[in-house]
Amino acid sequence: MGFIKNLDFDEVRDNFLVKSDRKKVWERQLEMWREVDRICRKHGIRYWATYGTLLGAARHGGFIPWYDGFELCIMRPEYNRFRQVMEEEFRLGGGVFEVRHVNFTRIIISHSQTTLLAKSDFTDLQGAKGLVIEIYPLDAAPDGTAESVFAANGINELFVTMYDYPTVEKYLAECNEPANELQVLVAFHALDDKDKQLAFLDKYAEGVFDWSTAVNRPEKSAEKISQPKDWYRKTIYLPFESIELPAPADYDKVLRAIYGDWHRFRNDKKFRLGVVHSADIPYKESLAQLNLKMILETFEKNERKDKLSAAEEAD
């Protein structure tokens, strides 16, 4: 079953030229969505379109013509449950879909019959390297109550402890009070590997999830956007290409919180889908057959030219 109409033909959408190559990427992303949807329905897990995908559904009835991402979100307790079942479910599905990246802040699912190589992939050839979709958790966020502030600060503190403990030590040395008890931070830091720390952090975030009536995405610490859980009280379905995607009942409020006037187009940015991508060639074939050194050298040369041109324009 095809998801994108006129897949092999270019077309103009909202005054933007959409090439067939981009539409093939979208098709593969919707194949991954279908598998995620199957797993979520099987295990009773609620999820919603978010960020550019939600914006595309609400404003375009499909993908934003100049955007290549596909993002979903899940409340923390169900996000943890999805993590527990997804890899076994992918195996049951024949192994076409793989986990490219998974941690406390996001899951990246990859399509094994495609190729997506970012610059960092040229020096690390291990793991899945196909086109992706992303899934983000929603964690407890401040809602004005002391309990919610503690929950949000406690999560942040443990997250920073895991990746930048010197910053936490400096914070404490300046006589600041930690959100968690000091012995909790010390014991957490002393865990001997990241997997154990992540397992603890997962349980912690799930344990304090009900302490707040608001949620936000944990990764974007510099620009966190708190949203009332009530905005997600009910799931509705918005047309998206040839399917319907689940969206929060108050998707207009969600989009306004993220983008402001979300009806206004902002298509001045140029999105580049990795250094190399293909919706047709499995990444294992790409890695075996492409001259990766030459491709990377050419890419870096063009990057330098782009930076030089930008600097000259600024002058």
* 113 closest CA partner among 28, 38, 34: 28
pLDDT per position as a tens digit, 92-128: 888 899 999 998 999 999 999 999 999 989 988 899 9
pLDDT per position as a tens digit, 26-51: 999 999 999 999 999 999 999 999 99
pLDDT per position as a tens digit, 179-193: 888 888 888 888 878
> Which residues, listed in sequence order, are joined to residue 137 by a DSSP beta bridge?
74
* 70 closest CA partner among 22, 104, 38, 9: 22
The residue whose two tokens read 């992939």 is 121
Query: In the structure encoding, which two tokens stand for residue 207, read together?
Result: 């344990």
Q: Residue 138: what pLDDT?
A: 96
Give the Å distances, CA to CA, from 89 to 42, 85, 172.
Answer: 10, 6, 44
* 11 closest CA partner among 21, 191, 248, 3: 21
Q: Residue 174: what pLDDT?
A: 84
Report whether pLDDT(271) > 70.
Answer: no
* 101 closest CA partner among 219, 229, 233, 249: 219
- Using pLDDT thresholds of 50, 70 and 90, give the confidence band for residue 222: very low
Q: Report how far apart the first and last C-alpha atoms of the chain are (Å, whole number).
A: 52
Query: In the structure encoding, which two tokens stand for residue 125, read together?
Result: 């050839």
